[in-house]
């Protein structure tokens, strides 16, 4: 009962969320990405947000745990004016969150980590109109005030609360992330990913680590050595450099989650 009262009291108030367009708020939905993908007549730069997702989705077909009241489960709805590289937008959404969560790092391409555990994930999806990308949905999941994770997740997932011992206003955190994201997006539209490369590299926990590149079902051991100006990961495999694109592979660290 106390938990239900807490959830009601701490509910996100859509009026307090600052986005350039509209906020679509759901007390409960399957997935804000799904809502955004199916919606019609939505203005560019709107936000879909839920208190709870019953079928939250992650990258590579995984599920994303999204219980009520403790996280940010949000999807930004974009109508790109020109062809935008969705992999690069994914990296930049991670960068926006990393700018806001103190001491966080990015596991390439877009997981945000605290203490080497995942605090945020990003799932970007394109909606096509024939050959053209008509909309891009940038789904962002942040574990904010989650008190604990079940056994399966606890060695790889964390929350801002678990790491800092402090409960945080989700509205404030979300507003800060949105501000960073739209600042970044405006720059990205003008100049692409290249202007963010240095900052991204500084915040990237994957660089100079041994990683496993999972490509076409095969695990290959490699060392992460650089990020290109398009946001791809450069790895060394047996002294040969290879460029890895976020859409093609999954990268695992050899130590811990990272
Ligand atoms: C990942 O790391 O695998 C990506 C997780 C993305 C989760 C967010 S929560 C809001 C939006 N709706 C979803 O169903 N997924 C994204």
Residue 27 bridge partners (DSSP): none
Backbone angles phi, psi at 65, to 5 degrees: -65, 125
- What do you get for the CA distance between the two ends of the chain, in Å? 37
240 alpha carbon to ligand 1 midpoint, in Å? 34
pLDDT above 70: percentage of residues in the chain: 93
Tens digit of each residue's pLDDT (9 = 90 or more) over 143-199? 999 999 999 899 999 999 999 999 999 999 999 999 999 999 999 999 999 999 999
pTM for this structure?
A: 0.94
- The radius of gyration computed from the CA coordinates of the chain, to the nearest angstrom, equals 18
Tens digit of each residue's pLDDT (9 = 90 or more) over 10-66? 789 999 999 999 999 999 999 999 999 999 999 999 999 999 999 999 988 899 999
Q: Which two tokens stand for residue 115?
A: 């203490």
- Strand, helix or coil for residue 119: strand
70 alpha carbon to ligand 1 midpoint, in Å? 15
What whole-number distance in Å separates Cα of residue 194 and Cα of residue 162?
34
The confidence score (pLDDT) of residue 214 equals: 80
Q: Is 143 in the pocket of ligand 1 (CB under 6 A)?
A: no
Chain-wide mean pLDDT for the chain?
Answer: 92
Q: Is 109 in the pocket of ligand 1 (CB under 6 A)?
A: no
The confidence score (pLDDT) of residue 172 equals: 97
- The beta strand positions in the chain, using DSSP E, are 23-29, 46-53, 71-78, 105-107, 111-114, 117-129, 132-143, 210-215, 218-227, 233-237, 240-244, 250-253
Residue 72 bridge partners (DSSP): 142
What whole-number distance in Å separates Cα of residue 232 and Cα of residue 241?
12
DSSP 8-class letter at 70: S
What whole-number distance in Å separates Cα of residue 156 and Cα of residue 44?
34
Tell which atom from ligand 1 comes closest to the C-alpha of 62.
3
What whole-number distance in Å separates Cα of residue 211 and Cα of residue 226?
13
Confidence bin at 258 (pLDDT 50/70/90)? very low
28 or 251, which is more confident: 28
Alpha-helical segments (H) within the chain = 2-9, 32-38, 86-100, 151-154, 160-164, 170-191, 197-203
22 alpha carbon to ligand 1 midpoint, in Å? 20
84 pLDDT exceeds 80? no
Alpha-carbon torsion angle 36, 38, 42, 48, nearest 10: -20
Tell which atom from ligand 1 comes closest to the C-alpha of 71.
9
- Residues 200, 231: contact at Cβ < 8 Å? yes
Tell which atom from ligand 1 comes closest to the C-alpha of 33.
12
């Amino acid at each position: 009962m106390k938990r239900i009262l807490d959830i009601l009291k701490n509910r996100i108030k859509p009026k307090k969320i600052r986005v350039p367009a509209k906020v679509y708020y759901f007390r409960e939905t399957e997935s804000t990405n799904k809502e955004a993908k199916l919606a019609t007549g939505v203005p560019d730069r709107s936000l879909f947000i839920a208190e709870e997702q019953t079928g939250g989705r992650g990258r590579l077909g995984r599920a994303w745990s999204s219980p009520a009241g403790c996280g940010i489960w949000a999807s930004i709805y974009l109508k790109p004016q020109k062809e935008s590289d969705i992999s690069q937008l994914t990296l930049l959404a991670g960068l926006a969150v990393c700018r806001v969560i103190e001491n966080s790092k990015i596991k390439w391409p877009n997981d945000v980590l605290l203490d080497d555990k995942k605090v945020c994930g990003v799932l970007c999806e394109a909606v096509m109109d024939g050959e053209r990308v008509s909309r891009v949905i940038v789904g962002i999941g942040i574990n904010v005030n989650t008190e604990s994770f079940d056994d399966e997740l606890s060695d790889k997932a964390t929350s801002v609360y678990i790491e800092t011992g402090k409960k945080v206003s989700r509205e404030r955190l979300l507003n800060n992330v949105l501000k960073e994201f739209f600042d970044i997006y405006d720059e990205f539209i003008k100049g692409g990913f290249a202007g963010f490369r240095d900052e991204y590299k500084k915040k990237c926990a994957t660089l100079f680590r041994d990683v496993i590149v999972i490509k076409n079902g095969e695990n290959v051991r490699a060392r992460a050595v650089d990020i290109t100006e398009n946001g791809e990961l450069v790895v060394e495999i047996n002294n040969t450099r290879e460029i890895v694109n976020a859409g093609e592979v999954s990268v695992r660290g050899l130590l811990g989650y990272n």
